[in-house]
Amino acid sequence: MIRERTQKGNSLLAIYSSYVAIDLETTGLDPHWDEIIEVAATRVDDGVITDRFQSLINPKCEIDEFITELTGIINEMLFSAPNLETILPKYLEFIGDSIVVGHNVNFDINMTNSGDKDAG
């Protein structure tokens, strides 16, 4: 159910019927120093989830307790996960040229672009 927004402009959900919602988990907040440890994306077409993409990513370093508490991801989960170079092209292909939405999506896009050698 989409609730009416009386104090703001139109909801993107009312304008676009198809989009990809993305979310990342990282080792920190700095795109230059921190690593992506999980990517997830959900494709929505005409209000229905039609596809999903998710993968843990081995950051090639241990994550600290704060990140584990924040994300629920532990080092043991990441040791056998694929590396970013393997997952990022698949993640970007899944997103394609779709409209991208997400909570604090600017951060997610900046982190993704910092990992994509061709993006930047």
For residue 74, the domain's CATH number is 3.30.420.10
Give CA–CA dist 57/55, Å, rounded.
Answer: 6
Domain that holds residue 26: 12-115
Residue 78 lies in a domain: yes
Nearest to 115 by CA among 51, 20, 39: 39
Residue 50 lies in a domain: yes
Beta strands across the sheet bearing 18-26: 48-56, 36-45, 18-26, 100-101
Indicate if the pLDDT at residue 119 is higher than 50: no
What pLDDT score does 3 carry? 67
Residue 1 lies in a domain: no
Q: Which amino acid is at 46?
A: D
Find the radius of gyration of the CA atoms of the chain. 16
pTM: 0.84
Q: Could you read off the pLDDT of 30-81 as tens digits, one per residue?
A: 999 999 999 999 999 998 999 999 999 999 999 999 999 999 999 999 999 9
| pLDDT top residue among 119 and 50 | 50
Judge contact between 18 and 45, C-beta under 8 A: yes
Cα–chain-centroid distance for residue 56? 11
